[in-house]
Amino acid sequence: MYSKTATGKSTNNSLDELCKALDQAEAVCIGAGAGLSASAGFVYDGPWFRRYFSDFEEKYGFHDMYTGGFTQFTSLEEQWAYWSRMIFLNRYCDPPKPVYQNLLELVKDKDYFVLTTNVDHCFQKAGFNKSRLFYTQGDYGLWQCSRPCHQKTYDNEANVRQMLEAQGFAIREDRALTPPLGTSPKMAVPTELVPRCPKCGAPMSMNLRADATFVEDDGWHIAAARYQNFMEEHRDSVILYLELGVGLNTPGIIKYNFWQQAYENPNAVYACVNRGQAFASRELVGRSICLDGDIAAAVEGLGKG
C-alpha cells in the first residue's frame, strides 16, 4: 500500500524528463484540477469578476465568483441572474489562453483518458474526444431537479442566453459577453425564466457535486465505466499519470488515486505540474516527476520538446 506522505515540494525535475516520459508512454491518463483552467486564464476574481458582477459585489460583499455561488440571494429571480452570468462566462466562453488546445496536441496520437474535477467543459471545447472524458463533479452546462425527484440532467445554454438578454447583456458571435452600455445590468431575471423541474415543479439547481442531491445521470455512469475500463486495460502498461493543477480539496478523486495506480504498476510514471503544490508519494521516488510552476508554460514547453 502506498503512503499518503509526500516527498515534499520539488523543483528538481526537468521538463526534459517529463517530455521523455510522455514520449515513451503507451498511454496517458490526465488528471485535471482547477489549476489547469486558471493557467488558461479562467479566474474567479479580479477585473474579470468586477466587469460582470460589480452589482452583486456591492450588494452582497463577496469578491469572487466562487464565493458568490454559495450566497443566499433574496429571490430565485436574483439567484438565476447571478448564475446565468456565472454559467455563461465559465462554460460557454473560451478561456483566454490555448492551454487545452496545446495539451490536446501533446496527447492526440496517444491512447489517452481525462479524469477531471473541473466543471467548465474546457476539454470538450478544445476538441478532446468526448468518449475519453470523465467529469466527476458535474457540468456548468447542466441543470437538475433540486430535490431531486429523478436522475436526469438538462442542457441549459438556450435558457441561460435568454436570462442574460433579459438582464441587458449582449452576446456577440464570438460568445463574448457585453454588459449594457451606460447603465447597470438588471439583477433579476423575469419570473417566467426561473427554471423548474418538468416533473415535480421544484426549482432546478446546478448539476454540481455540492451535497447529497447531486445527480449522477446516465452520461455520468457511462463516462465512469469508460474510465474504469481504461484503467483496467492499462493496469500493467507503460503509462504516464499526468496530474495538472490538482489541489488538496478533494485529493482522493485524482491525486491519491493516481499515486495508488502508479504504485501498483512498476511500468508507470507519475507526473505532477502545479504552482506551489508539486509533490508525490515517497514510494514513487524514482518514478515521479514534479514541476513547480506555470502549467501553461510547461505544456507549451512540452510541445516544443
Q: What is the CATH number of the domain that holds 240?
A: 3.40.50.1220
Same domain, yes or no: 50 and 34: no
Regarding whether 187 and 84 lie in a shared domain, the answer is yes
Residue 229 structural domain: 15-39+96-136+217-304
Q: What is the pLDDT at residue 9? A: 44
- The pTM of this model reads 0.94
User: Phi and psi dihedrals of 302, rounded to 5?
Assistant: -65, -35
What pLDDT, on a 0 to 100 scale, did the predictor assign at position 8?
Answer: 46
Give me the helices (H) in the chain, please: 15-24, 34-39, 46-60, 65-68, 76-87, 99-107, 122-126, 157-167, 218-233, 255-264, 295-304
Asked if 166 and 255 sit in the same domain, the reply is: no
Q: Let me know whether 258 and 164 are in one domain.
A: no
Residue 2 has what pLDDT?
A: 57
Same-domain check for residues 257 and 242: yes
In a domain, 6, yes or no: no
Is 181 within a domain?
yes
Q: Considering only CA atoms, which of 85, 25, 75 is closest in space to residue 55?
A: 85
Residue 1 domain-assigned (yes or no) = no
305 residues of the chain, pLDDT tens digit each: 556 666 544 445 799 999 999 999 999 999 999 999 999 999 999 999 999 999 999 999 999 999 999 999 999 999 999 999 999 999 999 999 999 999 999 999 999 999 999 999 999 999 999 999 999 999 999 999 999 999 999 999 999 999 999 999 999 988 889 999 889 999 999 999 999 999 999 999 999 999 999 999 999 999 999 999 999 999 999 999 999 999 998 899 999 999 999 999 999 999 999 999 999 999 999 999 999 999 999 999 999 87
Same domain, 186 and 291: no
- If asked whether residues 290 and 162 sit together in one domain, one would say no
Is 107 contained in some domain?
yes
Q: Is 236 in the same domain as 178? A: no
Residue 3 is predicted with a pLDDT of 65
Contact between 169 and 223 (Cβ < 8 Å) = no
In terms of Cα–Cα distance, which of 238, 293, 275, 282 is closest to 25?
238
Distance between CA atoms of residues 203 and 192, nearest Å: 12
Flag whether 268 is in a domain: yes
Same domain, 120 and 186: no
Helix axes 15-24, 295-304, angle to 10 degrees: 60
Both 228 and 293 in one domain: the answer is: yes
> Regarding beta strands 133-135 and 288-292, do their DSSP bridges make them parallel or antiparallel, or are they unpaired?
unpaired
The count of domains in the chain is: 2
- Whether 236 is covered by a domain: the verdict is yes
pLDDT computed for residue 11 by the predictor: 44
Are 169 and 239 within one domain?
Answer: no
Say whether both 108 and 190 belong to one domain. no
User: Residue 7 falls within a domain, yes or no?
Assistant: no
Decide: 276 and 292 in contact? Cβ < 8 Å: yes
Sign of torsion over alpha carbons 77, 219, 104, 243 = positive
In a domain, 35, yes or no: yes
Give the pLDDT score at 182. Answer: 87
Pairing of strands 269-274, 239-244: parallel
Q: Are 123 and 37 in contact (CB under 8 A)?
A: no
